[in-house]
Structure 1
Amino acid sequence: MDYFIVAVATLAGLIFHGWLYRLIRRWMDRDLALSIAAGDPAMQAHLLECLEQAKRQGIPRRQLEDWLHQAAKDYLQQGH
């Protein structure tokens, strides 16, 4: 019975750690998009949409910053 309690507590801790890790990564990605927008509300909304699009397309995290910078550049070139 002691092993069962230890196993359940360990499993619960690992699940919580994984959930917290994913939540913090999501916050970091959102903050990255908002920081690139530099306080422009219209660009913030656009880059948050681009962030969702990047996730759907499976853009790797190491390429995400460059991808968002390019999306911001394209947004500005369109005259917004």
Structure 2
Amino acid sequence: MDYFIVVVTTLAGLVFHGWLFVRFRRWADRDLALSLGGTDKAKRAWMLERLGEARRQKIARRALPDWLKREADSYEASRQI
């Protein structure tokens, strides 16, 4: 019975750790998108949409900052036209 308790608590701890790790990564990605949006509410909303698109396209996490920066620049370019 002691082994069962150790196994269950260890697995629960690992699952919780994994859940936290995924949540923190998502929060960091969201913060990056919002920071690229600046203070403009419309741009911030648009950047969150772009983040969703990046997730749908399965953009690698390492490439995400550059991808979001290009998207932010394209938003600025479309506003100047």
| Coarse TM-score class (shorter-chain normalised) | over 0.9
Question: What residue is the counterpart of 1:67 in the other structure?
Answer: 67
Superposed structure 1 runs of 4+ greater than 4 Å apart: none
Q: Which amino acid aligns with 2:54?
A: A
Alignment RMSD, CA only?
A: 0.9
Give the match for residue 33 of structure 1.
33
Higher relative contact order (CA 8 A, sep 6+): 1
* Alpha-carbon offset, residue 13 of structure 1: 0.2
TM-score normalized with structure 2 length: 0.95
2:22 aligns with 22
Question: Scaled by the length of structure 1, what TM-score is found?
Answer: 0.96
Letter of the structure 2 residue corresponding to residue 7 of structure 1: V
Q: Percent identity?
A: 56
The DSSP-based 3-state class of the residue aligned with 1:60 is: coil
3-state secondary structure, aligned to 1:62: coil
Counterpart Cα distance in 1 of 2:6 and 2:40 = 50
Unaligned runs of 5+ in 2: none
Q: Deviations over 1:21-68 (max 9, x none)?
A: 001111000000011111111110000000000001000111000000
The one-letter code matched in structure 1 to 2:23 is: L
Between the aligned partners of 2:25 and 2:4, the Cα distance in structure 1 is 32
Residues of 2 paired with 1:33 and 1:62: CA distance? 14
CA distance in 2, matches of 1:40, 1:61: 25
